[in-house]
Amino acid sequence: MYKYLIILSLLTPAGVMAQADTAGIVVHKDPRIDQLIHRQMEINEETTRDSRRSMPGFRIQVISATDRNKVFAAKTKIYQQFPDLKPYVLYQPPYYKLRVGNFKTQTEAEEFEKQLSSLFPSGLYVIRDTIEVTPERLKEEGPQ
């Protein structure tokens, strides 16, 4: 037991002296570290890009039918009347569903639903969905 105490007492001042000498050390960073950091930032950007382009929101369901041709005719009508509005065709057997828009709030979707009601007098529903968000729109809206 005494041996351990003597060894410990001899090593303690050496450790303190070693710490005192480190004040004059100069560290030279390898330039490849900056390249690695830059590459990791690029990888993070690529892997998280898709998750940043979608968010919870609303779409308007225009039609739900088993006849595929009816749904695609409605899609064509949407393209002709509202070229900026993006239509989405979903197939959930046995139904084809046409949903339009990428609305952040339900109020926005309901306002646009009134415009669509002239083309489709019945069967319009505001649906909660995952919407696509362009990077420009994210910048306009800012952090949430």
pLDDT more than 90, % of the chain: 51
What residue ranges do the domains of the chain occupy? 52-141
The Cα 98–Cα 73 span in angstroms is: 10
**pLDDT reported for residue 61:** 96
Per-residue pLDDT tens over the stretch 83-129:
989 999 999 999 999 999 999 999 999 999 999 998 898 889 999 99
The whole model's pTM is what? 0.60
pLDDT more than 70, % of the chain: 75
Confidence band of 9 (pLDDT split at 50, 70, 90): low
Neighbours of 57 (CB within 10 A): 20
- CB neighbours of 7 closer than 8 A, spacing ≥ 6? none
Per-residue pLDDT tens over the stretch 49-67:
766 688 899 999 999 999 9
CATH for 52-141 is 3.30.70.1070
